[in-house]
Amino acid sequence: MNLVRTAMLLAFMTALFMAVGFVIGGRAGMMIALVLAAGMNFFSYWNSDKMVLRMYNAQEVDERSAPEYYGIVRDLAKNAGLPMPRVYIIDNAQPNAFATGRNPENAAVAASTGLLHALTYDEVAGVMAHELAHVQYRDTLTMTLTATLAGAISMLGNFAFFFGGNRENNNPLGFIGTLAAMIVAPLAAMLVQMAISRTREYSADRRGAEICGNPLSLASALAKIANFAHQVPNVEAERNPATAHMFIINPLSGERMDNLFSTHPATENRIAALQRLAEEIGTVSTPPVRAGNQTRKSRSVPSTGWGRGGSEPPKGPWS
């Protein structure tokens, strides 16, 4: 059902893009919009992963430089039947992670230093399994295409302001059509993009739990990451809010409901779904904490050798 819903939303966004082109320039405008969308998607298909990794100054690691982290990804990729992705670390105190790449053969996963320091071994495994689920379902490509289409629709909406209203012969809907192209279409595109993102997160949670074998570890990780996201800013994400949908938890703000303007489902809803899955498969583990309650009140993200200028030795599973 999630796959069908995603396909329907993508089809709607493509139709919306062509409709805006039609409003601006009639049939010719619609064809130009279609060609433009194809060109932008082609560019994003080949270059989006490099752009995002460079945007967050991600550093690639291997089995020698990050043996436990790399080993977790290697073992999970084997469990999922996936090729080994490239593995990156982002020097950022906010616990978070994302996946990118046009297909499983050219995928990359990235985790922040804050995530490696704040979470346990099993929780990190749950998070990386979630990211590998995105790779397996090709969500990285889907979300790249939706982000590109949403941006293009907004751009065409701006064009409509300058060209749509002055060409009545090419714009059969007149002023109303121009107004819709300027305001309604970009808003609708943004809502569709966010709806697709929320749909894919639920699917990746379930598949990630299957890959790592413990839904409650992923649930516990989500709760901890959500807690830290309220307290630790992600400066790079604030500068590039269009990339927020890529992360396992929204790095910009903590949404508390599955509202239309959220890029992620509510963490509480995701945890509840994982708990139900754990009951279905009979997983026995310590119940995760609830999102919104601080897990370690006396401790913030530790300063270690992973961070900038850290002097204390690493603690926990990453020592």
Q: Give the catalytic positions in this structure.
A: 131
Contacts of 316 (CB under 8 A, 6+ apart): 117, 120
Distance CA 160, CA 41 (A): 21
CA dist 168 and 170 (Å) reads 5
How far apart are the C-alpha atoms of 273 and 292, rounded to whole Å?
17
The whole-angstrom separation of Cα 134 and Cα 203 is 8
User: 140: which residues sit within 8 A by CB, 6+ positions away?
Assistant: 49, 99, 100, 101, 102, 107, 134, 246
CA distance 62 to 54: 18
According to DSSP, the residues that pair with 61 across neighbouring strands are 87
If you count DSSP H runs as helices and E runs as strands, how many of each does the chain have, helices first? Answer: 10, 4
Tokens of 83: 């090729």
- Alpha-carbon gap, residue 217 to 189, rounded angstroms: 34
3-state helix, strand, coil in the chain (%, to 5): 65, 5, 30
For 81, residues 6+ apart whose C-beta sits below 8 A from its C-beta are none
* Of 204, 189, 205, the residue nearest 153 (C-alpha): 189
Q: In angstroms, what is the C-alpha Rg of the chain?
A: 21
**The pair of three-digit structure tokens given for residue 5, joined into one six-digit string:** 């819903």
User: DSSP string of 82-97?
Assistant: -PPPEEEEE--SS--E
